[in-house]
Amino acid sequence: MAAYVEGVEHHSVEVNGLTLHYAAAGGADRPLVVLLHGFPECWYSWRHQLIALAEGGYRAVALDQRGYARSDAPAAVESYTLPHLVGDVVALVRELGAERFAVVGHDWGAPVAWLTAQLRPDLVRGVVGMSVPPLPRSGDMPPLAAMDAMFGGRFYWNYFCRPGVADAEFGAAPERAFRRFLYGASGDNPRNDPPAQPLVPAGGGFLDAIAEPEELPDWLTEADIAAFTAEYARNGFTGGLNWYRNIDRNWELGAAWDGLPIQVPALYITGDRDLVGVFPGMDKLLPALQLLNPTLQPTLTLPGCGHWTQQERPAEVNAALIDFLGGLPS
């Protein structure tokens, strides 16, 4: 059974040769806010924000991005580059009839949101990224090769890029995968205080490194895990994993917009127990974010929060979003 949230409506739209699903709340005549999820997530990740934004006077639209949940999943790996994903957002907004919009992204959705703002400041009123900051293009070595050399092939990106491997591991027991993913990267997992590099055990699978929780944290219920499991029944995990399989391709394509500044108001939200914060190079990047991006407001760091920002801390995130959106030029 598909997930249900009271007050949220569901629609599909034909864009770029695909049928994409989105969940929405709030009147169609209100300012538009587009919400972009990460991996392994879907529209349901924004269940708390959809309602809060609607109550705050906005039209909130949470897209199932290509490859995920109820949206189409192209078979070709190369169909999941950042330009493809930005193109989906722009086409969606056009179909919704909005002239301008704000965009909010979490995890993989954050790079899509940042790049949408960079490439289309004529359309984007403001941008919020959670967990993943705006990342400058750096280095002479493609990222996957760099991580492979640094961690002996054990960094989770490299594991996710092995054809069919993670797909089979997660697909064999989706409920187990979601339970371990969501608890494992959360601020409630004591292993994330402080967070460590997400490495796959030698000879094992990704989920082998994550203990089964004895009980779920307060922000996560068995119904939530069942909802994610149901939403993934159609497409499984391969579409989302194909985003990782384009990391090097995105690095190559990124030469076209290297150094292009974010020109619209921007906000970065993270948790102090988010594993992204300890990725290689983050110790230098995070303190320099505002120097590199002058329109970026001071980072909002949520104490005790792990990777699942808007799910772990919905009240604080909702308040921050309403405050940020309320300050945007009309």
Amino acid identity at 195: P
Q: Are 185 and 308 in contact (CB under 8 A)?
A: yes
**Torsional sign, CA 241, 247, 253, 254:** positive
Q: Is 107 a catalytic residue?
A: yes
Is 274 noted as a catalytic residue in this protein? no
**119 with 86: CB under 8 angstroms?**
yes
DSSP-assigned beta bridge partners for residue 295: none
Q: Which of 88, 107, 167, 188 is catalytic?
A: 107
- Cα angle vertex 3, ends 272, 234, to 5°? 100
CA trace torsion 76, 78, 79, 85 (10° rounding) = 150
Q: Name the catalytic one among 21, 37, 106, 307.
A: 307
Catalytically annotated residues:
107, 307
